[in-house]
A and B are shown apart, each in its own frame.
Chain A
Amino acid sequence: MNRNEPLQTGTLLLEIGALLMTSGANTNRVRVTIKRIAESYGYTADYLITHRAIMLTLSSEEQQEFNQIKQTYGFVPNFKVVSGISRLSWEIANEQVSLEEAAKEVERLKQLPHYSRWVILAVVGLACSSFCRLAGGSFFEMAIVFIASFTGLFCKQELGKRQVNAYVGVFMAAFVTTLVTGGVAKFFNYEHENIAFITAILYLIPGIPFINSTSDILDGNSLNGVVRAVNGFAISFAIASGLIFALLIYNLV
């Protein structure tokens, strides 16, 4: 294995680690990926991975060659990036991929488009109305849930664009969603059994933080696991308070 520039390798590894951490991978995946790539380029990697920053030391033959810290980005689930980096790391490990090519591939993955905004809104609305159907709702309730979650997610995306605090965004989204659900119900004079309220806000549930928290704790990365669990509980609390405020307006608590 030919020796490459330590600075270039380290920068690439830190970028990959930060991207994985922000896109919703668990800590073990970040560790394994960094280690795999570093070994393919002929370095020994030691690292400290936390929620907000990654610290990396590269050494070869007992000599330290690279040592830096990189801040991770704001949390946006993006499994396209995780999937692409996983492929890239195997390509680097199995074939000869130059550092320039690898860096180019990472740049390309970062630029990959998300699904278009209206597709996301429509599909998430449909998902929430399927939840409603699974909980035993009628087709009328499904329609209410679709409209409510559509509006709520739209608000969340708008707030996200304006860089509002993430928890405030979740709170506002839950509030607006419940407001719409209750409003439609009032307008059509329809009796609820709470199903519409419960299922319309389900698109906000912190699934990735909770699942990753358990896996991190099981892998022995307890600190990261606790951080993620606290994160998940804070989001749950934000959802609950948004819901309660809207229910209080309709006097339904």
Chain B
Amino acid sequence: MNTSVLLESWIWFGIAAVGFAVLFNVPKRTLLPIFLMAALGGTLKLILVQNTENVVLGTLCGAVLVGFLSIYAAHLRHSPPFVFAIPSVIPMVPGSFAYHTMKGVIKLSGHVNALEFNSLLRETVNSGLKTLFILLAISIGVFAPMLITRRNSAKEINIRIPVLKSKRKS
């Protein structure tokens, strides 16, 4: 894969995430971690998607990475993890799949002859399901660290510290 493209996408993922962070009015001290997390998660997703051709799985891995980094960042900058995680995963949303789903639905609701119908329906359902599953992958990925560690204890504080310690050792 082309390294310069990867390096460039780093910057664009970061800027996109910071844009949304400002729209959500995050504290100023969290902007730098958000930039880095979005860049790392986004690049991981790009690499996986190009090597495995599986958009949903790639997005899930990217979002899980962002989720774990957000717990790290939360301890460094004293803000709840999702303040970092939500703006960082937004560059991964499936904009063009959603667009093609919507266009397909509009076309399906108009005059369609029997020949075109099958291919149109296939494309629409395909991009629709991809949109849905990518959205699910993003939101599950963000909360993956909380879901995995919640078995230990119900209280939040007891969850975060073991995660941080195990990360620091490795």
List A contacts of B91 (CB < 8 A): 130-131, 134
Range, interface on chain B: 35 or more
Say whether B22 contacts A77, CB under 8 Å: no
Set A134, A208, A240: member contacting B16, Cβ < 8 A? A134
Residue of B at shortest CB range from A114? Answer: B25
Does A7 sit within 8 A of B, measured CB to CB? no
Interface segment, B52-60, B96-104, B115-123?
B96-104
Main secondary structure, interface of B, reads helix
Say whether B86 contacts A123, CB under 8 Å: no
Set B25, B90, B106: member contacting A253, Cβ < 8 A? B106
Q: A123 vs B96: C-alpha distance in the bound complex, in angstroms? A: 22
Q: A135 vs B93: C-alpha distance in the bound complex, in angstroms? A: 12
Cβ proximity bits B115-146 to A, threshold 8 Å, 1 near / 0 not: 00000000000000000000110111011000
Does A66 sit within 8 A of B, measured CB to CB? no
Say whether A120 contacts B22, CB under 8 Å: yes
Does B75 sit within 8 A of A, measured CB to CB? no
**Could you tell me which residues of chain A, from 66 to 118, have a CB within 8 Å of some CB in chain B?**
77-80, 82-84, 86-87, 114-115
Q: Answer whether A135 and B96 are a contact pair too, CB < 8 Å, given A26-B82, A240-B102.
A: yes
Q: A32 vs B160: C-alpha distance in the bound complex, in angstroms? A: 15
Can you add 18 more A-B contacts, CB < 8 Å, to A83-B78, A134-B9, A218-B143? A26-B82, A78-B24, A123-B18, A124-B20, A126-B15, A127-B16, A127-B18, A128-B19, A131-B91, A134-B12, A134-B16, A194-B96, A198-B96, A207-B86, A208-B86, A211-B139, A215-B139, A243-B102
**B residues in contact (CB < 8 Å) with A:** 8-9, 11-13, 15-27, 30, 42, 78-80, 82-83, 86, 89-91, 93, 95-96, 98-99, 102-103, 106-107, 135-136, 138-140, 142-143, 147, 156
List 25 A-B residue pairs with CB atoms under 8 Å apart, sorted by A's residue number: A24-B86, A77-B25, A79-B25, A79-B30, A80-B25, A80-B27, A83-B27, A120-B22, A120-B23, A123-B18, A124-B20, A124-B23, A126-B19, A127-B17, A127-B20, A130-B19, A131-B12, A131-B16, A135-B95, A135-B96, A199-B95, A207-B89, A211-B82, A214-B140, A215-B142
